[in-house]
């Protein structure tokens, strides 16, 4: 008797929760209704394609979302990019005053999701966002592993634009794997790998290197780009090693690397593997061996874990060169002070890319949104995508933004190599200028 | 129903093919193949051309790294084996007991590093950190026993197992909530960085300290269990808890002491692990926990020396294994396969000695 009552209770609860779920997701039926014609930016919006339009009623906000790495070891990466987006929303009223402005008479809200810096996180976050038809576009992801084949596909299938401020894996914009609704303002890692190879071979004058990367597409792609370009310059790769991003014991791997006597160990990973590589690797490698990390390492969590530079062992990390930003005066005198005022010192460099991505997005929204005269907006997803991809010669903080059909929007990429611990992030010691800086375009590299 | 036409009756002689112990034959052949792969690989590695060969120093490094890592795993494995011996239950949450000890000692280590106390009194700070970690781990272990395991003393075997897994998840996520998801750097006093030269051989300081500490701990534990009255009670309860309680031994008290000892050992391991790998994080208990469980099973679950042996063996397998066997075959990034290698060895050992290396030779059902 008691069991039956319990069963009935659970059945009732289950039924109620199903009903609640069905009623809860009642939205304004945004879907694929065609817009009324009228005085919009470019005539009537075409909502008849498979992706339809986003309808924003007068008084409702334009909903943006971000899918960035905001928890865990890479939290400094994603939180920093979120701040870039928030500053772009702030500057809609042409002033960094802490009060957000409006776009086309509508407020702009930002729903922040976590990409977990992994495929699982990217899938969970992207699925949650794709299910919401009011999201106009998503700024994300932080880590290439969350985007490649995961978030870019899930969101692309619904026609939601995914605009990344910090994905750098070459595969994301390759012929074979590029998704039509994906673009990025971050550089393509083929360029970063080539510039670091140049630094090692021509500046440090070291001709033997070993690489160690984790299982993420980001690390794998970057290590490969470095190897290709380093060997093309005439260098030798003495060893290639792979570890797991969750490994803490790097002793045996470094012992193996040390036995091949490389002059440089290139470890383009994320933290904590970067930090552990430096501290554990220095106990094992021969004195004077240089270790180099990449933009995934250049975060304040590295500085927290390692502390002071280790004597006899230099560590460098490559990253977009913030000092060479063409944004110049505006970056130094308005953007950076505003960031520091509102959020403290930046913990990563990609906030500027996020700022640029958001502004390119805003420009695109302005050009394709159709206003029916009473403040209701209709934005065709395909038109928005086309407008973003048509961006050409846009002067952003990080340089000139011209998007290629495959989604690479950073044309001239300046990568700097920064010596530890003069890093341009929270905890870094001044002067934070790079020891090496070079500009290349995709056509220059392998 | 035998007939003269030669049809076989049920229950009569089996043919030759059916009499052969196929399972055993396949196992033996497979094992021989794997052994062949290992031997050939090792031979190839050792006979590589001189410039590609590992130097003696590199081998020494592999071995000492493996020993040090294995020693730490052995300490954690002792916790598993003690609890199993008494309760016939695998305490999957032991990895989290270890983690809490490490994190608690981290706060003190961090504070002392910033105030300079760590460097001015390194041995004292190390000793204090170990004591602090021991206390923290012990508390967590005792709470586990009281809240999660005692109510299930008479439940079917599977129930405490699931509870242990649940407790492990609960504890690691609680730590995440308390301390944050980022990993933190663990300070190492200057006197412990670098190496000493002993008898002309360069020995890494931390590794030596780890080895000595673990040897002392294992010997102390073994003496405790074999010489003291409490140790005798523990052995009695492990042999047969019903009879032991009839003889007047307080079984509950013995179980509590067992968990406490497991916690103390995990606390020591926690500090040693943290200074070896220089970081702590909320999820640091998971992999060492699995490794320690594997080590305990490999060496013979329920046996103290088995757990110690299993731990050291596991450490050596993970460190020397890929280097020795896989390098010869020219496999790139051979250390990626270290887990595959280790567990293959585990499976092989269990096929031939289901109770583990130092076990009784019979399968123990968990």
ipTM score: 0.78
Q: Which residues of B181-194 are buried (b: 16+ CB within 10 A; e: fewer)?
A: ebbbbbbbbeebbe
Report CB contact under 8 Å: A73, B181.
yes
Q: Sign of the C-alpha dihedral, residues B73, B76, B82, B84?
A: negative
- Residue A22 pLDDT > 70: no
- Residue A29 pLDDT > 60: no
Confidence label for A210 from pLDDT (cuts 50, 70 and 90): very high
Q: Is A421 on the interface with B (CB under 8 A)?
A: no
Confidence (pLDDT) at A39: 36
Confidence (pLDDT) at B363: 58
Residue A410 to residues A148, A327, A407, B195, Cα–Cα distance (Å):
18, 14, 9, 48
Considering only residues A32 and A128, tell me which one the structure prediction assigns the higher pLDDT. Answer: A128
Count up the domains in chain B and report the number.
1
CATH fold for domain A190-324+414-444: Rossmann fold (3.40.50)
* A404-426 pLDDT, tens digit each: 999 999 888 889 999 998 998 88
The verdict on residue B341 lying in a domain is: no
The verdict on residue B79 lying in a domain is: yes
Q: Is A248 on the interface with B (CB under 8 A)?
A: yes
The verdict on residue B11 lying in a domain is: no
Distance from CA of B73 to the nearest CA of A (A): 12
Nearest by CB to residue A248, choosing from B193, B279, B318, is B279
The verdict on residue B172 lying in a domain is: yes
Question: How many whole angstroms separate alpha carbon B161 and alpha carbon B361?
Answer: 24
Chain A residues with CB-CB distance to B205 below 8 A: none
Can you tell me whether residue B327 is helix, strand or coil?
helix
Distance from CA of B145 to the nearest CA of A (A): 29
Nearest by CB to residue B184, choosing from A241, A258, A305, is A305
Chain A residues with CB-CB distance to B323 below 8 A: 252, 255-256
The verdict on residue B100 lying in a domain is: yes
* B125-171 pLDDT, tens digit each: 999 999 999 999 999 999 999 999 999 988 898 999 999 999 999 99
The verdict on residue B26 lying in a domain is: no
The residue behind tokens 């000139």 is A400
Closest CA to B303 of B217, B215, B211, B218: B218
Chain A residues with CB-CB distance to B55 below 8 A: 259
Cβ–Cβ under 8 Å, residues B282 and B168:
no
- Residue A388 pLDDT > 50: yes
Domains of chain A, by residue range, sit at: 53-186+350-411, 190-324+414-444
Whole domain around residue B231: which residue ranges? 63-285
Which of the 8 DSSP states describes residue B202? E
Closest CA to A379 of A105, A40, A152: A40
Closest CA to A392 of A383, A400, A402, A382: A402
Tell me the two tokens of residue A406.
């495959």
- Residue A23 pLDDT > 80: no
* A275-300 pLDDT, tens digit each: 999 988 998 899 999 999 998 888 88
Q: Which residues pair with A394 in a beta bridge?
A: A401
Three-state SS letters, chain A:
CHHHHHHHHHHHHHHHHHHHHHHHCCCCCCCCCCCCCCCCECECCCCCCCCCEEEECCCCCEEEEEEECCCHHHHHHHHHHHHHHHHHHHHHHCCCCCCCCEECCEEEEEEEEECCCCHHHHHHHHHHHHCCCCEEEEEECCCHHHHHHHHHHHHHHCCCEEEECCCCCHHHHCCCCCCCCEEECCCCHHHHHHHHHHHHHHHCCCCEEEEEECCCHHHHHHHHHHHHHHHHHCCEEEEEEECCCCCCCCHHHHHHHHCCCCCEEECCCCCCHHHHHHHHHHHHCCCCCEEEECCCCCCHHHHHHHCCCCCCCCEEEEEECHHHCCCHHHHHHHHHHHHHHHHCCCCCCCHHHHHHHHHHHHHHHHHHCEECCCCCEEEEHHHHHHHHHCCCCEEECCEEECCCCCCECECCEEEEEEECCCCCCCCCCCCCCCCEEEEECHHHCC
Q: Which residues pair with A64 in a beta bridge?
A: A110, A137
Q: Please report, to the nearest 10 degrees, the dihedral formed by the alpha carbons of residues B312, B313, B316, B322 taken in order.
A: -160
Average pLDDT over residues A45-74: 89
Q: Sign of the C-alpha dihedral, residues A172, A177, A182, A185?
A: positive
Q: Please report, to the nearest 10 degrees, the dihedral formed by the alpha carbons of residues B204, A285, A426, A352 taken in order.
A: -150
Chain A residues with CB-CB distance to B185 below 8 A: 275, 279, 304-307
Nearest by CB to residue B185, choosing from A75, A249, A305, is A305
- pTM for the complete prediction? 0.78
**Multiple choice CATH, A53-186+350-411, 3.40.50.20, 3.40.50.720, 3.30.70.980, 3.40.50.2300:** 3.40.50.2300
Residues 6+ apart with CB under 8 A from B52: none
Chain B residues with CB-CB distance to A251 below 8 A: 61, 65, 69, 319
- Residue A35 pLDDT > 50: no
Confidence label for A219 from pLDDT (cuts 50, 70 and 90): very high
Chain B residues with CB-CB distance to A240 below 8 A: 332-333
Q: Which residues in chain B show pLDDT less than 50?
A: 1, 366
- Residue A69 pLDDT > 80: yes
Report CB contact under 8 Å: B335, A275.
no
Question: How many whole angstroms separate alpha carbon A68 and alpha carbon A79?
Answer: 7
Question: How many whole angstroms separate alpha carbon B226 and alpha carbon A93?
Answer: 78
Number of other residues whose CB lies within 10 A of the CB of residue A16:
10
Confidence (pLDDT) at A27: 44
Cβ–Cβ under 8 Å, residues B259 and B211:
no
Q: Which of B70, B206, B279 would best serve as a mutation to test chain A binding (most A beta carbons within 10 A)?
A: B279
Confidence label for A33 from pLDDT (cuts 50, 70 and 90): very low
Distance from CA of B27 to the nearest CA of A (A): 31
Q: Is A304 on the interface with B (CB under 8 A)?
A: yes
Report CB contact under 8 Å: B323, A241.
no
Confidence (pLDDT) at B7: 60
A53-186+350-411 shares its CATH topology with A190-324+414-444: yes
Confidence (pLDDT) at B10: 61
Number of other residues whose CB lies within 10 A of the CB of residue B337:
16
Q: Say whether the peptide bond before residue A141 is cis (omega within 30 degrees of 0).
A: yes
Chain A to chain B Cβ contacts (< 8 Å) = 83
Chain A CA closest to residue B284:
A248
């Amino acid at each position: 008797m008691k069991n039956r009552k319990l069963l009935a209770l659970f059945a009732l609860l289950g039924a109620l929760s199903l009903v609640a779920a069905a009623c809860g997701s009642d939205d304004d039926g945004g879907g694929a209704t065609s817009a009324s014609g009228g005085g919009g930016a470019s005539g009537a919006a075409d909502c008849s394609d498979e992706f339809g339009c986003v309808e924003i009623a007068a008084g409702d906000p334009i909903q943006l979302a971000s899918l960035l790495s905001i928890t865990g070891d890479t939290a400094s990466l994603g939180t920093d990019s979120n701040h870039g987006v928030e500053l772009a929303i702030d500057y809609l009223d042409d002033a960094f005053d802490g009060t957000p402005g409006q776009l086309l008479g509508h407020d702009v809200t930002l729903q922040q999701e976590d990409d977990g810096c992994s495929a699982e996180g990217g899938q969970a976050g992207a699925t949650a966002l794709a299910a919401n038809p009011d999201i106009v576009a998503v700024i994300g992801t932080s880590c290439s592993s969350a985007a490649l084949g995961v978030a870019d596909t899930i969101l692309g299938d619904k026609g939601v634009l995914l605009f990344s401020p910090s994905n750098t894996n070459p595969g994301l914009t390759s012929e074979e794997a590029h998704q039509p609704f994906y673009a990025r303002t971050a550089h393509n890692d083929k360029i970063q790998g080539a510039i670091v190879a140049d630094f090692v071979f021509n500046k440090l004058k070291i001709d033997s290197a070993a690489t160690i990367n984790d299982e993420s597409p980001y690390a794998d792609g970057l290590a490969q780009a470095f190897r290709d370009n380093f060997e093309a310059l005439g260098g030798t790769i003495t060893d290639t090693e792979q570890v797991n991003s969750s490994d803490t014991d790097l002793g045996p791997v470094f012992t193996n690397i040390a036995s091949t006597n490389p002059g440089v160990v290139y470890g383009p990973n994320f933290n904590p593997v970067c930090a552990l590589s430096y501290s554990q690797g220095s106990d094992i490698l021969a004195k004077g061996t240089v270790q180099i990390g990449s933009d995934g390492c250049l975060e304040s969590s590295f500085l927290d874990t390692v502390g002071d530079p280790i004597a006899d062992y230099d560590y460098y990390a490559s990253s977009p060169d913030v000092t060479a930003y063409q944004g110049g005066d505006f970056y130094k005198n308005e953007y950076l002070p505003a960031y520091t005022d509102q959020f403290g010192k930046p913990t990563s460099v990609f906030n500027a890319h996020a700022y640029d991505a958001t502004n390119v997005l805003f420009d695109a929204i302005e050009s394709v949104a159709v206003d029916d005269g009473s403040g209701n907006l209709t934005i065709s997803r395909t038109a928005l995508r086309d407008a973003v991809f048509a961006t050409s010669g846009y002067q952003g903080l990080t340089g000139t933004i011209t998007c290629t059909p495959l989604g690479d929007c950073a044309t001239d990429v300046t990568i700097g190599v920064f010596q530890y611990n003069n890093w341009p992030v929270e905890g870094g010691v001044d002067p934070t200028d790079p020891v090496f800086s070079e500009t290349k375009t995709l056509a220059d590299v392998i | 129903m035998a007939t003269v036409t030669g049809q076989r009756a049920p229950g009569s002689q089996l043919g030759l093919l059916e009499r052969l112990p196929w399972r055993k034959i396949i196992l033996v052949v497979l094992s021989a193949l794997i052994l062949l792969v290992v031997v050939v690989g090792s031979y190839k590695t050792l006979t590589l051309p001189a410039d590609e060969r590992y130097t003696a120093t590199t081998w020494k490094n592999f071995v000492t790294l493996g020993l040090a890592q294995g020693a730490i795993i052995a300490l954690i494995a002792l916790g598993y084996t003690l609890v199993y011996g008494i309760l016939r239950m695998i305490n999957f949450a032991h990895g989290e007991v270890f983690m809490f000890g490490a994190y608690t000692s981290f706060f003190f280590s961090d504070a002392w590093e910033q105030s300079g106390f760590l460097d001015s009194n390194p041995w004292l700070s190390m000793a204090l950190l170990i004591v602090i970690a021991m206390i923290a781990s012990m508390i967590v272990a005792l709470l586990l026993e009281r809240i999660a395991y005692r109510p299930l003393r008479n439940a079917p075997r599977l129930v405490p197992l699931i509870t242990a897994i649940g407790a492990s998840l609960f504890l690691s996520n609680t730590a995440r909530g308390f301390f944050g998801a980022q990993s933190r750097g663990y300070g190492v006093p200057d006197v412990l960085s670098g190496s000493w030269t002993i008898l002309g051989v360069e020995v890494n300081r931390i590794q030596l300290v780890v080895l000595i500490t673990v040897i002392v701990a294992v010997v102390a534990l073994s003496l405790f269990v074999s010489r003291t009255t409490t140790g005798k009670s523990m052995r009695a309860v492990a042999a047969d808890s019903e009879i032991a309680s009839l003889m007047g031994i307080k079984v509950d008290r013995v179980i509590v002491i067992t968990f406490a000892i497991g916690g103390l050992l995990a606390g020591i391991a926690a500090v040693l692990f943290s200074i070896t790998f220089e970081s702590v994080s909320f999820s640091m208990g998971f992999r060492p926990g699995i490794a320690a469980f594997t080590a305990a099973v490999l060496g013979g679950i329920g046996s103290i020396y088995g757990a110690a042996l299993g731990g050291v063996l596991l450490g050596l397998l993970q460190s020397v294994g890929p280097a020795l066997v896989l390098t010869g075959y020219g496999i790139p990034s051979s250390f990626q396969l270290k887990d595959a290698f280790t567990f293959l060895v585990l499976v092989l050992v269990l096929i031939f000695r289901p109770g583990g290396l130092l076990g009784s030779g019979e399968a123990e059902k968990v």
